[in-house]
Structure 1
């Protein structure tokens, strides 16, 4: 049976799930923290997984920064020792996406480096530009104007009439019914505090009991591993509350960082209650496509507490 020579990767769990791929870090065994040469067994595992790979396609290339590009290069040179003196271990890398979209997290844009990563970036010499828009379609004047506004914003060329077009859809100009229609939509905020206040408001509007869950904090350990990954000290939970998964548990079936779900049940160990941590929380994920945990409710999945650093 002929092996597939193409590996498809994406920088985030959601992006990977959308194209039936895996994340860059998982697919190439790249650690989230500091990069070190792979030891014997992990290296052998990676080499076995990549032995037929000739091409790697990476989606959402704007998320790639010099640091991650260097890690990809280092990893592939280790995986293909016979080609370790070639960029990316001799594997052909295909980058897909729009550099004008979201930039890398905690890194510079891929083209802004003045280090070894710049030579890697400059090695991409073939460019194919797609110029047909599929996401925003329609032939009406309003739809055409919307596409023009998005194009102008993308190229930092927005004019006053673009601003006026967007301002016709502000909260002050919407009808009461339109505001109700948007009430349950996901909102974007500039600060964590604004997001927290909105979440509290929406939680209150459920008019249901709310369970306060306090994180467990372990004893002081080696600070090298004391990374809580921004896990909060407390979480408010309620039935029918909309929540977001913030860890990629099983990308192939849709349990990815960013997946949206509804809490259906909060289960505690015997003799425990709030503010103790639940044993697990049952969440309904509409995009989940894996084996059912509950035959009667195939989209319901138990989410267990996780530990990062000293915090659970």
Structure 2
């Protein structure tokens, strides 16, 4: 069976007469949809649900409304049958694949493939009248025909402004692939073997923590996991607002609803019991937490206790499936001094808590690096990650100090250990430019949310630019053309009010883009702004998750474990990196984190696989073999909801 041609979701079908009066309804909380063909090669959607006869709707002359596809919702109108199919609570990844198959199968048909032109020979050879078979997978020929038809039909007469803008983009991005936005419901590239094993474990219902060095595709995999789970019972969170916005979720603190967590357990439960927080807690079946390394262990433990109290369930986290992602070798939790003290307390990681142990997490470590392709650089980063600096690492990084990485007027972004330093550099450099400034004010959907959107998105509420300004792109616009989040450029001109930016071998006119931030109550805040930010300098904290193609750094003021590693791993390659004053004392790893990962390595029988929880306070770990394939057979993907 072609998995892309099946879907599990909530289903509602309405049949109306020509006057628009409702004649018949079909409702199911758990409906299984699949694409089938009959003996005449007509394509149908077959809907199967418990206690009702299967329904078949012919795909002919349909129209699809897919605006809310990233929320697991879509509707299909069948005019010939006066019916509308409403799909909701579908895993967004499955829904995207399902609609893509419909599109390609219908658009990619050869002339004469439809029922009106089906030859009598096909009908006569059909051995089973009124029989239906599963639709075949998409072929390359069908895909090619669909692409040709879409390209031909898209040739419309644009407005003068749009025409000029497209002309510039066509000449500056010649032969670039069609735009592929990674902030669509789910990314489209296939998973590697390591990533697929993690996804299988999540879909089998296990509590999972997956980790890996920078650039191993953790965020990419997380989006795939989110896209494979039903949205109505899945809550995607992250330790920071920017990380939450990146995965289309909310912050872990927003979800918990207990403020800073300093209140007593009883008071915290009372806070979480307030509507609408309590409704989200009780509805949640799958809780995702990204950048888990930056979640304070004490807070994590408090939230786990609150979960059991609010859900009235004594299982860990009240019976919610946990899917955790992050690298404890990267930035640790931010700690503050206790009352009466001047120095912050040492960070407490989540893996040091009893709650972590009780959750029986299956732990995976991704090994395949996607961000960098230079094996020498990867080897250096792996040593830096664990705090090991030998002579080869030192020589390699010192050799970058004098190399020229600037190109086409694009200067290297300076990574700073402190945010204030980066802000001062950017403001002074912009002020020094002898050119007229142009200001862009963000368009926020809800007045009074500017401060919240500033914290939860990477895009500024007020952007001031001049010709010559060094900028960074904050959206994936065209991956194939190199116009990706973190790409570096310089403003060359302003045309029709928009900045023209020269990236590496690419010129791009930056227009308004949209960022969506979800609230704990399920509402959405939006910000429209030019997807650029001043980039003479950037803080290491705000660069986490980015891939920079022209970066320099001074690590003399590094003040916490993992900070040097996060900074160095932002670089795409050694050829695009300049380290000004490297010393081995700038690199170290937290000893507790080293112990945690060392124990994982000692117990792993294969490079990747699930590992049982810590069994005692000495952090002894035991390998647990899990028959994931058999588990998946018991819980097939189509029945995940």
Instruction: Give the TM-score normalised by structure 1.
Output: 0.60
Per the alignment, do residues 246 and 97 of structure 1 end up closer, same or farther by CA in structure 2, a change over 3 Å counting?
farther
**Secondary structure of 1:134's match?**
coil
Partner of 1:258: 458
**Secondary structure of 2:415's match?**
coil
Q: Does 1:288 align with 2:519?
A: no
**Secondary structure of 1:249's match?**
helix
Partner of 2:237: 9
Written as runs of structure 1 = structure 2, the 5 A alignment for 1:192-203 is 194-203=421-430
Residue 150 of structure 1 deviates from its aligned partner by 1.0
CA contact (8 A) 1:261 1:286 kept: no
Per the alignment, do residues 242 and 134 of structure 1 end up closer, same or farther by CA in structure 2, a change over 3 Å counting?
farther
Per the alignment, do residues 98 and 242 of structure 1 end up closer, same or farther by CA in structure 2, a change over 3 Å counting?
farther
**Unmatched 5+ residue regions in structure 1?**
210-237, 266-283, 291-296, 302-312
CA contact (8 A) 2:291 2:325 kept: yes
Partner of 1:226: none
Residue 103 of structure 1 deviates from its aligned partner by 0.7
Partner of 2:378: 147
**Secondary structure of 1:89's match?**
helix
Distance 1:52 1:23 in 2: 17
Q: Deviation string for 1:108-133 (max 9, x for gaps)?
A: 141575xxxx2112224321222211
**Unmatched 5+ residue regions in structure 2?**
1-9, 11-28, 30-88, 90-229, 336-345, 443-448, 466-509, 517-526, 532-641
Partner of 1:249: 453
Partner of 2:329: 100
Residue 257 of structure 1 deviates from its aligned partner by 4.2
Q: Deviation string for 1:133-174 (max 9, x for gaps)?
A: 1222x3xxxx1111111111112123222222222332x432
Per the alignment, do residues 75 and 287 of structure 1 end up closer, same or farther by CA in structure 2, a change over 3 Å counting?
farther
Distance 1:196 1:38 in 2: 40
Residue 239 of structure 1 deviates from its aligned partner by 4.1
**Secondary structure of 1:56's match?**
strand
Per the alignment, do residues 130 and 240 of structure 1 end up closer, same or farther by CA in structure 2, a change over 3 Å counting?
same
Distance 2:356 2:272 in 1: 31
Partner of 1:120: 355
Per the alignment, do residues 247 and 109 of structure 1 end up closer, same or farther by CA in structure 2, a change over 3 Å counting?
farther
CA contact (8 A) 1:13 1:22 kept: yes
**Secondary structure of 1:147's match?**
helix
Distance 1:79 1:285 in 2: 45
Written as runs of structure 1 = structure 2, the 5 A alignment for 1:295-310 is 299=529
Distance 2:367 2:441 in 1: 37
Partner of 1:221: none
Distance 1:41 1:101 in 2: 30
Count of aligned residue pairs for this structure pair: 230
Query: Quick one: which of 19, 31, 37 aligns to 2:247?
Result: 19
Residue 10 of structure 1 deviates from its aligned partner by 0.8
Residue 38 of structure 1 deviates from its aligned partner by 4.9
Per the alignment, do residues 259 and 208 of structure 1 end up closer, same or farther by CA in structure 2, a change over 3 Å counting?
same
CA contact (8 A) 2:239 2:295 kept: yes
Distance 1:264 1:196 in 2: 13
Query: Quick one: which of 134, 141, 160 aligns to 2:370?
Result: 134
Partner of 2:318: 89
Distance 1:247 1:22 in 2: 16
Residue 261 of structure 1 deviates from its aligned partner by 6.8
Q: Deviation string for 1:43-75 (max 9, x for gaps)?
A: 242222233322212111111221220232143
Higher strand share: 2
CA contact (8 A) 1:8 1:56 kept: yes
Distance 1:195 1:40 in 2: 38
Distance 2:423 2:271 in 1: 45
Q: Deviation string for 1:231-251 (max 9, x for gaps)?
A: xxxxxxx745999x994429x
Q: Does 1:206 align with 2:441?
A: no
CA contact (8 A) 1:62 1:109 kept: no
Distance 1:19 1:169 in 2: 34
Q: Which has the larger radius of gyration?
A: 2
Distance 1:62 1:165 in 2: 29
Q: Does 1:174 align with 2:404?
A: yes
Question: What is the aligned-residue RMSD (CA, Å)?
Answer: 3.9
Partner of 2:283: 52
Query: Quick one: which of 154, 159, 162 aligns to 2:393?
Result: 162
Per the alignment, do residues 112 and 50 of structure 1 end up closer, same or farther by CA in structure 2, a change over 3 Å counting?
closer
Instruction: Give the TM-score normalised by structure 2.
Output: 0.31
